[in-house]
Amino acid sequence: MSGPPMYRGMDRAALDSAYDNSAAVANSAALLADFDARSAALRARLPQHLGLRYGPAERNTIDYFAADRPGPILVFIHGGYWQMRAKETFSFVASGPLAHGIHVALPGYTLAPATTLDGMVAELRAAVAWLAQHAPAFGGDASRIIVSGWSAGGHLTAMLLDEPAVKGGLAISGLFDLAPIRLNYLNHKLQLDAAAVRRLSPLLNLPPRSVPLMLACGTDELPELQRQSETYASARAQEQLPGRLARLPGHNHFTILEELAQPGGALTLLVREILAA
């Protein structure tokens, strides 16, 4: 027997399934294992600036991959629904930007339930500020910092657009309205209440001005994931905030990252577009 509708006509079971990316992609475990292997290879090749500490918590470190020449900085925030995964799995995405002289920094952050979503945002603000101060020592141009992220990292990207050092953003398969998150299985660890949803949903906190934000999602992603990006892109466009939505054909929630890992990938091109503006 199905339960009562909770959100957009979905009962709890349907709402849980609507946000279960791992179940939706049959080979997600194999894809993540491949990410780990490729990331380990890149870290072995560029080990000079790993584990740079920006704050006191265990995960408050940054892996910084310097390009072969001075250049702008792409910050990449990993996903995992704010409660799993680690930056080390996603080092492989640096390959695409590095090929164009773009430095790449991957910050770690404390996960739920060890901290709140507010706490994660505060930590990542500290990471961006640390990079603005220290990245020039590695050849990074602190006046050209782009923040990006995938899944939960897409949400955190949107939350960081008002940081003074940030000149643009790229949110990949992100979450921008936390109302359904509060109502499904993910909230067991997040413990969001109505006030937190209102405070921490980028969709509900559109600024009067914004740096450019590119949004991206795959056409093979779960419908709710696509709707999140579509709704946020439409709301920003209505307020005439700069940026747009890119729908990437044939990509699911995991394979979309290949478009950043490749020098000619669609996401790498979006980063270059932001930097050229």
Q: Residue 26 falls within a domain, yes or no?
A: yes
Residue pLDDT, tens place only, 125-184: 999 999 999 999 999 999 999 999 999 999 999 999 999 999 999 999 999 999 999 999
Contact predicate 190/181, CB 8 Å: yes
At residue 277, the pLDDT reads 86
Q: Rounded to an integer, what distance in angstroms lies between the CA atom of residue 79 and that of residue 8?
A: 25
Mean pLDDT, residues 109-132: 98
Mean pLDDT, residues 66-79: 98
Q: Residue 6 falls within a domain, yes or no?
A: no
Q: Residue 165 falls within a domain, yes or no?
A: yes
Residue 1: pLDDT band with limits 50, 70, 90: very low
Contact predicate 20/242, CB 8 Å: no
Mean pLDDT, residues 78-88: 98
Q: Is 5 a residue whose pLDDT tops 90?
A: no
Q: Residue 3 falls within a domain, yes or no?
A: no
Mean pLDDT, residues 34-47: 98
**CATH number of the domain within which 264 lies:** 3.40.50.1820
The three-state (H, E, C) secondary structure of the chain, written as one string: CCCCCCECCECHHHHHHHCCHHHHCCCHHHHHHHHHHHHHHHHHHCCCCCCEECCCCCCCEEEEECCCCCEEEEEEECCCCCCCCCHHHHHHHHHHHHCCCCEEEEECCCCCCCCCHHHHHHHHHHHHHHHHHHHHHHCEEEEEEEEEEECHHHHHHHHCCCCCCEEEEEEECCCCCCHHHHHCCCHHHHCCCHHHHHHHCHHHCCCCCCCCEEEEEECCCCHHHHHHHHHHHHHHHHCCCCEEEEEECCCCCCHHHHHHHCCCCHHHHHHHHHHHC
Domain span at residue 251?
12-276
At residue 2, the pLDDT reads 66
Amino acid type, 160? L
Angle CA 250–256–257, to nearest 5: 155
Instruction: Domain count for the chain, please give it.
Output: 1
Residue pLDDT, tens place only, 174-211: 999 999 999 999 999 999 999 999 999 999 999 999 99
Q: Residue 2 falls within a domain, yes or no?
A: no
Q: Residue 29 falls within a domain, yes or no?
A: yes
What's the whole-model pTM score? Answer: 0.97
User: Considering the chain, what percentage of its residues have pLDDT values greater than 90?
Assistant: 97
Q: Residue 147 falls within a domain, yes or no?
A: yes
Q: Residue 192 falls within a domain, yes or no?
A: yes
